Amino acid sequence: MKGWSRSRSEWPEVLIMEILLRLPVKSLTRFNCICRSWWCCFQTSNFISKHHHINLKNNRLNLLCNRGVGNVIPYFTQLSTEQDDFLSAKHDIHLTYFKDSGFPPGVLGPCNGLLCFYNYGERNKTALWNPSTREFKTLPPSSTQPPSPGYNRVEDVGFGFDSNTGDYKVLQFVTLNFTWPDDDNPIPVGVDFAVELYSLKTDSWKEIPFTGFFPFRHNLCNSYVNGICYWQARTVCPPDPKYNPCVLSFDMVGDNFSTFSFPEFGGSVVDYMFQLLEFNGSLGVIIYPFQGPEKSFDLWVMNGAYTWTKQLCIESISGAENPLGFWKNGDLFLETSDHQLVLFDHHAGEVKRLGVKTFVGSMSVVAYAESLVPINGTSEHKEYIIRQI
- Confidence at residue 148, expressed as pLDDT on a 0 to 100 scale: 52
pLDDT value at 241 more than 70: no
- Confidence at residue 186, expressed as pLDDT on a 0 to 100 scale: 55
- Confidence at residue 383, expressed as pLDDT on a 0 to 100 scale: 86
**Are 125 and 242 part of one and the same domain?**
yes
Q: What is the mean pLDDT of the chain?
A: 85
Mean pLDDT of the 58-75 span:
81
In a domain? residue 127: yes
What 3 state SS string does the chain have? CHHHHHHHHHHHHHHHHHHHCCCCHHHHHHHCCCCHHHHHHHCCHHHHHHHHHHHHHCCCEEEEEEEEEECCEEEEEEEECCHHHCCEEEEEEECHHHCCCCCCCEEEEEECCEEEEECCCCCCCEEEEECCCCEEEECCCCCCCCCCCCEEEEEEEEEEEECCCCEEEEEEEEEEEECCCCCCCCCCCCCEEEEEEEECCCCEEEEECCCCEEEEECCCCCCEECCEEEEEEEEECCECCCCCCEEEEEECCCCEEEEECCCCCCCCHHHEEEEEEEECCEEEEEEEECCCCEEEEEEEEECHHHCEEEEEEEEEEECEEEEEEECHHHCEEEEECCCEEEEEECCCCEEEEEEEECCCCCCEEEEEECCCCCCCCEECCCCCCEEEC
pLDDT value at 101 more than 80: no
In a domain? residue 209: yes
Choice between 189 and 112, residue whose per-residue pLDDT is larger: 112
**Are 110 and 39 part of one and the same domain?**
no
In a domain? residue 83: no
Q: Tens digit of pLDDT for each residue in 148-172?
A: 555 677 888 999 999 999 999 999 9
Enclosing domain of residue 30: 1-43
**Are 139 and 223 part of one and the same domain?**
yes
**Are 21 and 112 part of one and the same domain?**
no
